[in-house]
A and B are shown apart, each in its own frame.
Chain A
Amino acid sequence: MIQIPPGAFARPGTSLEFKTGTWRAERPVHQRRAAPCHSACPAGEDAQAYLAKVEMGDMRGAWETVVAANPLPAITGRVCHHPCESACNRAHYDESITIHGVERFLGDEALRQGWSYPVPIPSADAPRMAVVGSGPAGLAAAYHLLRGGCRVTLIEAMPAAGGTVRTAIPHYRLPPDVLEQELDHMLALPGLDFRLRTQLGRDVSLEELRADHEAVFLGPGRRKGREGSADFAVPGNLRTGLQLLEAWVAGGTLPEQPRSVAIVGGGNTAVDLARVLRREGVEQVHLISHQRVPAPGVPADDAMRATYREVSQALEEGVTIHEHRGVRRLILRGERVVGMELVHMKKLEDADGRLRRVAFEGTETVLHVDQVIPAIGQDVDGSGFESLVRRGYMEVEPWWGTVDGQSGIFSGGDARSDHGTVSEAVGDGRRAAAAMLRYRAGKQLEPGAPPEPIPYSDLNLSYFETAPASKEPVLPPEQRLGLEEIEGGLQANAVRHEAHRCLSCGDCLACDNCWTLCPDQSVLKTREVAADGSHYVFDYDFCKGCGICAHECPTGYIRMIPE
C-alpha cells in the first residue's frame, strides 16, 4: 500500500504509472506514401528514395535505388521528358527538383566507377525466359527477369542493341559513347544470352521461343513508318520522318538539301527531325501539329507528344511550329510538292463524349515549302507474330503487358498504341518481367496502377527554405551546330544541392520534428531503423493523439487514424 510521506512529496517520473494513451481518439501512424515524382515516373523510379540516399552521401546506394527500377539511367537521364519534375511538389513552392540531372549523374557515375548491377548470378537450372527486341522495353524486361533469378534469351534483329534509342535519337541528345557504355554494362550481366541479327519469324519462330522458354516478352518497337493518313495523300516517293532521322543518325547526312520543309506530326520523331534539318542548314523548318506546344498548364491530350524540353529547344533553334493545324491537301506542281493547304483544327468532345478532330471552315491557309515529310507515327513490324498485331499496334493489358488470349506472351514499349517514350518502355518491360515471374509461379495478376501520390497540401512547408534549382549548362542555340551534347548535366555539388532541396514527400526525413514537438514525450527516437522504416516509435501508452506530430511532419509521413 502506498504511504504518504511528510508533505506529500512525489518521486521522479512516477507519472509513467498514468497511461494517458487511454485519452486518445486518433492515433498517429507512420505511413510511407508515394512522392509525386515516384507516381509520375513511367519507368517506376522512386526519385525521392534515391535523392534521400544522395543527400546522405551514398551515391552508390542511390544508383542502386535507381536501377531497382531502371537499368539505363545514363540514357533516360538524358532523353526522358521527366514527368517526375512536372509532378514534383516543390514546383508549388519554388522550382521542381532537377531530378533528371541527378538520375543522369548517377548513371554516369556508375559507368565511371564501374559499379555492378545488384543482380544475382542465376543458377544452372534457373527458369529461362525469352525477350524479343533489345530496345528499352526489351532491355528492361530482360534486366528485371535477370534480377528475378532467371536466365534470359534476348534476340535482336539488328546488328546492334538499343532499338529506337540507338537508331532514332540524335547524338546531341544522347552521345553515342554514353549509349554504348551503358548498353555494354547491362548486356554483360551473367545469365543473359544475347543474340544479334536474330529476327523473329526468320531466324527463330515464336513457337520455338515459347517451347524453349517459360514465357516470352515481345518488344518489337514500331519501326514501320506510316506513309499517310486519311487527311492527305502522300506521293509514293516521299520518305517518312523516321526513315530520314534514322538515316541521319546512322550516317550523319541527309539525301536532299531543300530550302524549306514542312514536317507533319507532333511527336519526338517530328521534333528531332526538325532540329536535325536546322542543323543541316535547312532555312525554314515548319512543324504542323494538331495539338499545341506542350507547356505547363496545357492538358496532356491537347499537347504535342514531343517533350516540352525538346520542343522548347527546337523553337530556340528556329523551328516554326503551327499549332492546332491540320493538312487539307498537298499542292503539287507536277510531281513536285510546292506547298500545302492548312486548316485550323482542334479536338473536341462530340455528343457521345468522344474526342474528335474538328476542322474550322474558312481558316484555310497555304504554306509554300520545298518538301513535306510525314512524321505521323509508325506501326509495329509484326514479322513472325502477325496475328498479334492489330491496326499497327500490339494490344496489351496496360499494367502487366499480357496479350489477350496469349498465355505466356507479354509485350510493351512502343509496340503499344499509347506508349512512345523510352521511360514508358522501361516501365512496361519492368512490369511485364514481374508479370512473367508471377505467371511462372502460377500467381494471379491483380490489377495494378501507379501509387497514389501524396498531395502538396499534405506537406508542412514551414520547415523548408526557398532555394533555386540547380540548372545544368545548356549550349546556346547559335552553338548547336553539330553533334555536341546540348545539356551539360549537373556536377556533384549541384546534385547534392538538389537532393537537399528534395521535400522528401511522404517519407521520413529523420528530421526529429515529431520527437522535438511532442508535448507528451510520446515519440521515442531509435538509433537503428524501426520496424516501419522510420527512426521513431510512438509510445501509445502515453500518446494522447493530439496530432501535432502529424500536422507538423514536413513530409506528410505521419497520419492520424481513428482508434
Chain B
Amino acid sequence: MNEQPLHDLDTLRARQPRFRGLESGHRACQGCGEALAARLTTEAAGPDVVVANATGCLEVFTTPWPQSAWRLPWIHSVFGNTAAVAAGMEAALKQQGRATQVLAFAGDGGTFDIGFQALSGMMERGHDVLFVCFDNEAYMNTGVQRSGSTPHAAMTTTSPPGELRMGKRHMKKDILSIIAAHHIPYAATASVAYPSDLRKKVRRAMDTEGASFLQIHSPCPLGWGHDGAKTIEVARLAVQTGLFPVIEMERGELIGTLPIREPRPVSDYLKLQNRFRHLFASEYRARKELEHLQAIANRNIERFELRGVGPETYDTEGADTVHRGGDRWA
C-alpha cells in the first residue's frame, strides 16, 4: 500500500477513458453530491455542449477566478435566469446551424423557486435544452435556508425546530408534476446513487428534441448533516424508502420507474441526517412527523407503483450492480 504509482498522473489524467467535463481542483465540500452529479452529467453529455449555470454552490465552487474546473463552454449569469440564458444560447446555435447541445444547470432554488418562471417559459417555448436541477433541498450556498424543495419537517436555518415548530411546515414542491404539465417530451428524476441510470437519462434527454428536464437528488453533507463518506448511502436510501421516487415521463405520462424491491423504513434514511434529528425525540409531535414522512413515502410508492410488477431486472437492488471489470462506462 501507498507505493508510488508507476504512472505519471498528468498523463494518466489526460488518458482517462471518459470526458472530464468537471475537472479536479474544484472547491466543493468533501463528499459533495452536487459535484458528483455535475461530474456524471457532463461526462455523459459532453464535450459538444454549452452550459448555462445558475448562481449557487456549483457555480461558486467551480469558478473562483482565475480558475475554472470546467472543460466545456460555460456561463453563469444570475440566479433566476438560467433557463432563459440557455434558451438564448439554443436560439443562437440553431440560427448558426450548429449541432452543439445546450444544458442548463441549477440547484433547487434556481429551479423550484427563483428560476421557475424562466424554466416554465423555456419549456413552454420548446427550446432544445436539457435543464438539470441538482436538488439538494435547500439554499446551501447561502447557508442552508429552506427552499420550495426542502422536505417537510426538515431543519434548515430558516425552518428551525423549536417549541412551536418541527422544521419546515410545508411540503416539498412536486416539481416533476409541474414540469410534466408542460407536456415536454422528456422529464425524469435520478439520483447520484444510481450513476448508470443517471447517465442513461442524460443521454436520453440529449437525444430528445425539445425541452427536457432532469432532477438529480444530490445529498449535501454540510446542509443535511451527514458524513461525507455516506453521500451515496443517503441518496440510495432516499430512493429505497420511496421518499425520492426515480421516475421517467414522456409528454407528461409516466413511462418508467426505478422499482423498489424491498422498501426501507424512512427512519433508515432520516436517522443518518442531522436535519431530521429532532424527529427522533421521544415526544408525540416527533413521532407524528416521522409517521407523516413515512406516509409521504408510502404515497409515493403507491402513486408511482414503485413496488414494481413481475420479474424486474432493473430495480434499486440491481440498477447499479457492479461486476468484475467495470464497464459501467462502456
Contact = CB atoms under 8 A, between A and B. Distances in A.
B50 to A, nearest CB: 13
Interface size, A (range)? 35 or more
Interface in B78-134: none
A348 B233 CA distance: 46
A547 B31 contact: yes
A478 B119 CA distance: 74
Contacts of B39: 519, 521
Interface stretch (A102-110, A179-187, A398-406, A508-516): A508-516
Given A56-B324, A531-B5, A537-B12, A15 B67 contact: yes
Nearest to B313: A465
Interface size, B (range)? 35 or more
B229 to A, nearest CB: 3
Interface string B49-83: 00000000000001101111111100000000000
B325 A510 contact: yes
A16 interface: yes
B30 A521 contact: no
A17 B31 contact: no
A544 B71 contact: no
A519 B33 contact: yes
A548 B228 contact: yes
B287 interface: no
A531 B8 CA distance: 12
Given A525-B16, A532-B1, A14 B68 contact: yes
Interface stretch (A18-26, A269-277, A385-393): A18-26
Given A14-B66, A15-B26, A509 B5 contact: no
Interface string A547-561: 110111010000010
A29 B36 contact: no
B17 A548 contact: no
Interface in B13-64: 13, 15-17, 20, 22-28, 30-33, 35-36, 39-40, 62-63
B310 interface: no
A396 interface: no
A526 interface: yes
Interface string B304-330: 000000000000011011111111110
Contacts of B9: 524, 537, 539, 541
B135 to A, nearest CB: 16
Contact of A519 (B23, B31, B233): B31
B16 A524 contact: yes
B142 interface: no
B67 A546 contact: no
A17 B25 contact: yes
B231 interface: yes
B282 interface: no
Interface string A54-65: 011000000000
Interface stretch (A4-12, A125-133, A323-331, A431-439): A4-12
A462 B30 CA distance: 22
A97 to B, nearest CB: 14
A511 B328 CA distance: 8
B200 interface: no
Contacts of B229: 546-548, 550-551, 560
B228 A521 contact: no
Contact of B324 (A4, A13, A511, A516): A511
A2 B192 CA distance: 37
B283 interface: no
A530 B8 CA distance: 11
B232 interface: yes
Interface string A203-229: 000000000000000000000000000
A15 B31 contact: no
B31 A530 contact: no
Nearest to B25: A15
B195 interface: yes
B24 A546 contact: no
Nearest to A24: B30
Contacts of A551: 229-230, 232-233
B62 A15 contact: yes
A56 B71 contact: no
Nearest to B62: A15
Interface in A51-87: 52, 55-56
Contacts of B325: 56, 509-511
A20 B24 contact: yes
A16 to B, nearest CB: 5
B324 A15 contact: no
B52 to A, nearest CB: 14
A360 interface: no
A462 B230 CA distance: 13
B208 to A, nearest CB: 24
B35 A512 contact: no
B27 A18 contact: yes
Contacts of B233: 462, 551-552
B174 interface: no
Given A13-B68, A56-B324, A545 B30 contact: yes
Contacts of B32: 519, 546
A469 B221 CA distance: 39
A11 B62 CA distance: 12
A113 to B, nearest CB: 23
Nearest to B36: A519
Contacts of B227: 547
A260 interface: no
Given A15-B23, A17-B67, A548 B231 contact: yes
Given A510-B324, A512-B322, A526-B7, A12 B31 contact: no
A307 B236 CA distance: 42
Contacts of B195: 516-517
Most buried by B among A15, A20, A531, A560: A15
A20 B326 contact: no
Contacts of A463: 320-322
Contact of B236 (A52, A462, A532): A462
Nearest to A547: B229
Contacts of A418: none
A560 B2 CA distance: 12
A483 to B, nearest CB: 40
A531 B6 contact: yes
B66 A522 contact: no
B3 interface: yes
B317 A465 contact: yes
A33 to B, nearest CB: 11
A554 to B, nearest CB: 5
B326 to A, nearest CB: 3
The 10 closest A-B pairs by CB, nearest first: A547-B229, A512-B326, A15-B25, A511-B322, A10-B68, A15-B69, A546-B31, A546-B30, A542-B24, A519-B36
14 contacts: A8-B65, A10-B66, A13-B23, A15-B69, A16-B23, A29-B2, A463-B320, A511-B323, A512-B329, A527-B15, A531-B4, A546-B30, A546-B221, A550-B229
